[in-house]
Amino acid sequence: MRILLAEDDRIIADGLSRSLRKAGYAVDCAYTGIDADTALMTNVYDLVILDLGLPKLPGLDVLRRLRARKSSTPVLILTALDGIDDRVKGLDLGADDYMAKPFELPELEARVRALSRRSSGTARLIQCGLLTFDQTDRCAMVDGEMLDLSARELGLLEILLSRTKRLVSKDQLVDHLCGWGEEVSHNAIEVYIHRLRKKLEATGVNITTVRGLGYYLEKPAEETRP
């Protein structure tokens, strides 16, 4: 899942982006409204966390331009402007949620998870054979026992589970897993896939490689029978 964080306070942006990346999200940071608007015109995001008090172009104008382009990307407004008029204006322009500063990281991360589930239309729990993926707690389990997966491996697994039996290219995996400034090569993707495949052996879930094209996740044989 790829997030655009539009926040001019670099201390807040750094702390929040670190926390989200640790949770397995790819995060791009924009520090001005113009940079945020440009990023939204040139990249595809699963979620936008938008400060209203951005320099050069106010956050509400960034939101207005986004919705004028018919984009349905979920937007979480994060701002020190917590008056009722500010909330109503942001929601009327098409924001999906609103949080006032100061905020608690666990609550913000929970709202991010809720918005991502709502936009994708997927359930909180994804079941595939013996494997269960919990999108709320961002963990994978086999028969109730937690799998030891890194943040990258969890991100890969979530992408593949959401596109079961559909081919996902290495470029698509990089785009969803990595933010600006993060150098992840196709070779690194191969390493992550190899590690994840080994850890999924006991689940009956298989990651199939289509050489030169990408990967897709196969459900266990008993689930694919007519």
209 and 160 in a common domain: yes
157 and 141 in a common domain: yes
Q: Are 179 and 21 in contact (CB under 8 A)?
A: yes
Domain with residue 166: its CATH number is 1.10.10.10
pLDDT, position 65: 95
133 and 56 in a common domain: no
Task: Render pLDDT for 25-54 as a digit per residue (tens, 0 to 9).
Answer: 888 999 999 999 999 998 888 899 999 889
Task: Render pLDDT for 168-184 as a digit per residue (tens, 0 to 9).
Answer: 888 888 777 765 556 66
Domain with residue 22: its CATH number is 3.40.50.2300
Q: Which of 76, 101, 120 is the last residue of a domain?
A: 120
Domain membership of residue 110 as a residue range:
2-120
Q: What is d(CA 226, CA 223) in angstroms, rounded to the nearest whole number?
A: 8
Q: What is d(CA 170, CA 167) in angstroms, rounded to the nearest whole number?
A: 10
Backbone angles phi, psi at 126, to 5 degrees: -110, 120
212 and 111 in a common domain: no
Task: Render pLDDT for 166-224 as a digit per residue (tens, 0 to 9).
Answer: 888 888 887 777 655 566 678 888 888 899 998 888 787 888 899 888 898 887 665 54
> How many distinct structural domains can be found in the chain?
2
Task: Render pLDDT for 49-58 as a digit per residue (tens, 0 to 9).
Answer: 999 889 999 9
111 and 6 in a common domain: yes
Confidence of residue 225 (pLDDT cuts 50, 70, 90): very low
Q: Is the pLDDT of residue 125 over 80?
A: no
83 and 8 in a common domain: yes
99 and 8 in a common domain: yes
Q: What is d(CA 143, CA 121) in angstroms, rounded to the nearest whole number?
A: 25
170 and 205 in a common domain: yes
192 and 133 in a common domain: yes
155 and 116 in a common domain: no
